[in-house]
Structure 1
């Protein structure tokens, strides 16, 4: 178990499935990512830097790629979703498209790898 697995284990089944799916897609893109923390949140970590965190909030699920530039890179693919500096918010009833998750993770990985 790791920080992400521990976090998912504490969620209700529906939220764990939705959030777990985002992490699963991210792991497809960066299979060597490890579980860790980023800014105190459970996260996938790549080369010692936070890659992606996905957390349940009261009214949404937040995706945090630790990079405003990564969010900007996929903003067109996420038209209609709530985007803010470094954050993507969505309702579990309208999950993020897998292609957009992949593009987001690829953008963040590229930043980390320089």
Structure 2
């Protein structure tokens, strides 16, 4: 039993040493990679946000122009519609009144 425990202890010590080396190397490389990734991500995000801001600014200007034009045309159309509606309604109520008037004497 003593020999087995000795060999087991030796193997385990060797394994833990190699595992520790590998893990240290891995964590070092992982840290470098993550640092590089973070820098590249930051550069990309900065560029993206700059371009996004430009696009949104352009979109906002174009949207504002389009909305101004739309609201102007909508206002004209609604004004025209209101006039025509008023004329039609006046005519309808006049004719309706005449038609209903024929029944009042009965």
Measured against the shorter chain, the TM-score band is: under 0.3
TM-score, structure 1 as length reference: 0.17
Return the index of the structure with the highest Cα Rg.
Answer: 2
Task: Flag the structure with higher helix content.
Answer: 2
Kindly indicate whether structure 1 or structure 2 has the higher relative contact order, using CA contacts under 8 Å at least 6 residues apart: 1
TM-score, normalisation: structure 2: 0.19
